[in-house]
Chains A and B, each alone.
Chain A
Amino acid sequence: MNVLICISRVPDTATKIVVGSDGKTIDNQGVKFIINPYDEYAIEEGLRIKEKFGGSVTAVTVGSEQSSDILRTALAMGVEKATIIKAPEIFDSYFVAYNLAEYAKSIKPDIILLGRQSVDFDSFQIPSLLAGLIDYNLVTVVSKLTIDANKIICERDVEGGKEIVETNLPCIISAQKGLNEPRYPKLPDIMKAKSKPIEILEAKPTDLKMEVISMEIPMKQRIGKILSDSDEDINELVRLLHEEAKVI
């Protein structure tokens, strides 16, 4: 079973984001980048598939050459080969999906794993665009994956419950939290990853389908409500937490 994992490089959720002087991009100065957290589940699942069924695991990212840092992590976790598809400074989701599709066509994986979304722009587009471009079956937001011969059984998180769906190869799976517990890269594997190659390809140009007009940091607005400790208000608080905040 040959697995392709698509990884996205995103700012660490703990870093403070500053909008660049052009008002359209993030100022990268001092920002620490990490593997998109959902992609870690994709990597782990890919490694488990390989450990069970044999084959190979390749990781690919569309972005700048600096993405080698996150690919090193993937290699240290056990991925065998990693590729950067070098993109121009400005690109959109379609550009990424188009280039992933071209790459996938060249290596013809049995299964492509991605995170359910990239936590930087949250556009949720790549898995679906990719499936459309290369005509693979697609199951999104998967929290459990079972492979039984040619049958792929997926558990999906849906509003208030689980859905179980079945598909077959070749297919694209987007990973949800809970799919697995990603492994820590082991020290000897980190050292071994040093000699694993990172291939750098030029992206194939394609028209962008979307343009960022502007970007701004949301204003912090506190719209706190203060309730009393009367029985009525306590009931109201429970209702608000349930219906408005949707936290209970």
Chain B
Amino acid sequence: MQKIDYYNIDELFTIEEKLIRDSVSDFCDREIIPIISEHYRNATFPMGIIPKLAELGLFGITLPTEYGGSGANYTSYGLAMQELERGDSAIRSFVSVQNSLVMYPIFTYGTEEQRKKWLPKLAKGELIGCFGLTEPDYGSNPAGMITTAKHANGKFILNGSKMWITNGSIADIAVVWAKINDVVCGLIVEKDMRGFQTYEMKNKLSLRASITSELIFQDVEVPEENILNVKGLKGPLSCLNQARFGISWGAIGSAIAVYESALNYAKTRIQFDKPIASFQLIQEKLVWMLNEITKAQLIAYRLGRLMDEKKARPQQVSLAKRNNVRMALDCARISREIHGANGILDEYPVMRHAANLESVNTYEGTYDIHTLIIGEDITGFSAFR
């Protein structure tokens, strides 16, 4: 059942969409929520969950079944992300990367051989993928990347490094974006290739249950058959567009988790001989959250339908990512406040979500970069290039 549904949005979903949401929701309650605090504390990714996510059909959600996908629509994909992130952004991040940043480009830009070789195994979770775009000196401005590949003797010789790569050191394959003759291209780099090394980035205070790594390439020889058929920044940006769509739903999941926790807490916490939910200031905070969640749900719902009709523009995806993630982050901060001192304990999910959402607000295009993308769209002036 939709957890928060002030506007009966549930009625707008098809039976299949609701079944998918409810199934992932049960999964979240049974498999993610009971274990996630410990992984967060220890900064480990729950590896045991990978086969379960695969079994449920969460890798390749929108891809055709002939490649191991689930054949569902984008709205279903969004609802699944919402329910996963209600558990923790780390799990949703893992699934976003596998779906949108690894399987999507192989499906969209891969040859039939590449699709057959990689997609079924990625769908089964036998292979884990990562996506290397960001570099130490190029985050918001990926066009400036300095990782390069040279074409020689039927191979590409790859040099450079990537940073902040989700799943990097647990991945079997990396979709790496590098310049070949000054044009951005995508290469599938395999874990065991000589000269390819990964280092886990330690001591993160956000997304602690997600693995983030640095990728180093020193004269890595990538066979020709591992290049993707796309040229220019539109390759990686089209992947990000998919992932951002999922994130705009995922954020609603986090917001629901922190709102529910705040509502329950406020109704039972007694101060000045009354439940704090009876004070006007607390009610204003709760209402603000509910109001923002409802708006975010409507944005996500409409965007899902546009994606399903292949009519969504990247700027519309930017608006949803920008709004929904910031909304969730604000909800988490407010919820933390309502929980008083208890809000800083990991007995409640709020501080974990609040810390996670700081990353979500930054990755996949920062809040401000999305502002500028939309700003350019409506004014015709680019403020960031």
Contact = CB atoms under 8 A, between A and B. Distances in A.
Interface in B318-346: none
Contact of A76 (B19, B24, B65, B71): B19
Contacts of A185: 19, 23
A186 B57 contact: yes
Interface in A64-79: 68-69, 72-73, 76
B26 A184 contact: yes
Contact of B71 (A32, A73, A191): A191
A187 B1 contact: no
Interface of B (DSSP majority class):
helix
B15 interface: yes
Contact of A194 (B16, B24, B27): B16
Contacts of A193: 16, 19
A188 interface: yes
B178 to A, nearest CB: 33
A190 B1 contact: no
Given A12-B1, A32-B1, A194-B16, A188 B23 contact: no
B1 A191 contact: no
A190 B19 contact: yes
B16 A184 contact: no
Interface in A162-199: 184-191, 193-194
Contacts of A12: 1
A2 B244 CA distance: 47
Given A187-B20, A187-B57, A14 B80 contact: no
A68 B84 CA distance: 27
Interface string B60-86: 010001000111100010001000000
Contacts of B57: 186-189
Contacts of A72: 15-16, 19
A187 B80 contact: yes
Q: Please tell me the size bucket of the interface on B.
A: 20 to 34
B19 A188 contact: no
A72 B14 CA distance: 11
Contact of B16 (A32, A34, A68, A191): A191
Nearest to B52: A184
B267 to A, nearest CB: 16
Contacts of A34: 1
B27 A191 contact: no
A100 B259 CA distance: 44
A219 B352 CA distance: 40
Given A69-B15, A190-B20, A14 B58 contact: no
* B55, B58, B70, B72: residue with the most chain A Cβ atoms closer than 10 Å: B70
Contacts of B26: 184
B215 to A, nearest CB: 30
A184 B69 CA distance: 17
B27 A184 contact: yes
Contacts of B56: 184, 186-187
A189 B76 CA distance: 13
Contacts of A186: 23, 55-57, 70
A73 B26 CA distance: 13
B83 to A, nearest CB: 11
A22 to B, nearest CB: 25
Interface in B1-44: 1, 15-16, 19-20, 22-24, 26-27
Given A184-B27, A186-B55, A14 B19 contact: no
* B19, B27, B55, B69: residue with the most chain A Cβ atoms closer than 10 Å: B19
Given A76-B19, A194-B16, A188 B65 contact: yes
A200 to B, nearest CB: 16
Contacts of B15: 68-69, 72
Contact of B1 (A14, A76, A188): A14
A34 B58 CA distance: 24
Nearest to B62: A187
Contacts of A188: 57, 65, 69-71
Contacts of B76: 187
Contact of A73 (B19, B24, B61, B69): B19
B12 to A, nearest CB: 15
A68 B61 CA distance: 24
Contacts of B72: 187, 190-191
A63 B179 CA distance: 63
A184 B23 contact: yes
Given A12-B1, A32-B1, A184-B23, A190 B16 contact: yes
Contacts of B70: 186-188, 191
Nearest to A72: B15
Contacts of A194: 16
Q: Which 5 A-B pairs have the closest CB atoms?
A: A187-B57, A187-B70, A188-B70, A186-B57, A184-B23
Given A68-B15, A191-B71, A194-B16, 12 more contacts: A12-B1, A32-B1, A76-B19, A185-B23, A187-B57, A187-B72, A187-B76, A188-B65, A188-B71, A190-B72, A191-B65, A193-B16
18 contacts: A12-B1, A68-B15, A69-B15, A76-B19, A184-B26, A185-B19, A186-B23, A186-B55, A186-B70, A187-B23, A187-B57, A187-B58, A187-B61, A190-B20, A191-B65, A191-B70, A193-B16, A194-B16
Interface of B: 1, 15-16, 19-20, 22-24, 26-27, 55-58, 61, 65, 69-72, 76, 80
